[in-house]
Amino acid sequence: MASIIKTEDLTYTYSIGTPFEKTAVDKVCLDIEEGTFSGIIGHTGSGKSTLIQHLNGLIRPTSGRVIIDGQDIWSKDVKIRDIRFKVGLVFQYPEYQIFEETVYKDIAFGPKNMGLPDEEIDRRVKETAELVGLKQETLYKSPFELSGGQKRRVAIAGVMAMEP
Ligand SMILES: Nc1ncnc2c1ncn2[C@@H]1O[C@H](COP(=O)(O)OP(=O)(O)O)[C@@H](O)[C@H]1O
Ligand SMILES: [Mg+2]
């Protein structure tokens, strides 16, 4: 199977040259194949979040490479914006990334930013809502009226709607 997410000797050091200098990710080589599910396990502070933030270019390696779908994401001919559409990240407390007036608008935010036509946005909002188990009537509520678990579903749908 094809490699979809790969890192080569990925290293990330915070606050280089200060007394707080800290290498959080140290020469990590990772190879994830298309169509598979992987988990990364480690105790608090072991560098999981730092590693993950490299996978859609939120942070740039101190050294080493990140290769998504065969492309080094920091090479000159790659637009990092395209990588962010390709790789979706849901944060640890996804409910904090919700901000729109309705669930519908919140899920539509990503696809809208991608410049998709309204009918396509509508299809994606409805399909991803269904995928994460949100009822269609929930789409017209304020996300702030929902339970914690439902908010998480909205945040996940918002990422899935970009079809990363
Ligand atoms: N913004 C930051 N500035 C400085 N050090 C950081 C920062 N974020 C994380 N670290 C440090 O990097 C290490 C790895 O943290 P992190 O990637 O958040 O681990 P995990 O997600 O596995 O808990 C920890 O020692 C943490 O204190
Ligand atoms: Mg973390």
Last residue of a domain, one of 36, 65, 86: 86
Q: How far apart are CA 130 and CA 27, in angstroms?
A: 40
CB count in 10 Å sphere of residue 161: 28
pLDDT by position in tens, the chain (length 164): 789 999 999 999 999 999 999 999 999 999 999 999 999 999 999 999 999 999 999 999 999 999 999 999 999 999 999 999 999 998 888 778 888 999 999 999 999 999 999 999 999 999 999 999 999 999 999 998 999 999 999 999 999 999 99
**Which one of the ligands is nearest to 93 CA?**
2
Counting ligand 1 atoms within 8 A of each CB, the residue from 21, 49, 59, 62 with the most, and so the one to mutate, is 49
Rounded distance from Cα 23 to ligand 2 centre (Å): 15
Beta-bridged to residue 4, according to DSSP, are: none
CB count in 10 Å sphere of residue 127: 15
Structure tokens at 29: 């080589």
Rounded distance from Cα 136 to ligand 1 centre (Å): 39
Q: How far apart are CA 126 and CA 139, in angstroms?
A: 8
Query: Rounded to two decimals, what is the model's pTM?
Result: 0.89
Q: How many domains is the chain partitioned into structurally? A: 2
18: CATH: 3.40.50.300
Three-state secondary-structure class, residue 68: strand
Cα of first residue to Cα of last residue in the chain, in angstroms, is 19
| Domain carrying residue 123 | 94-160
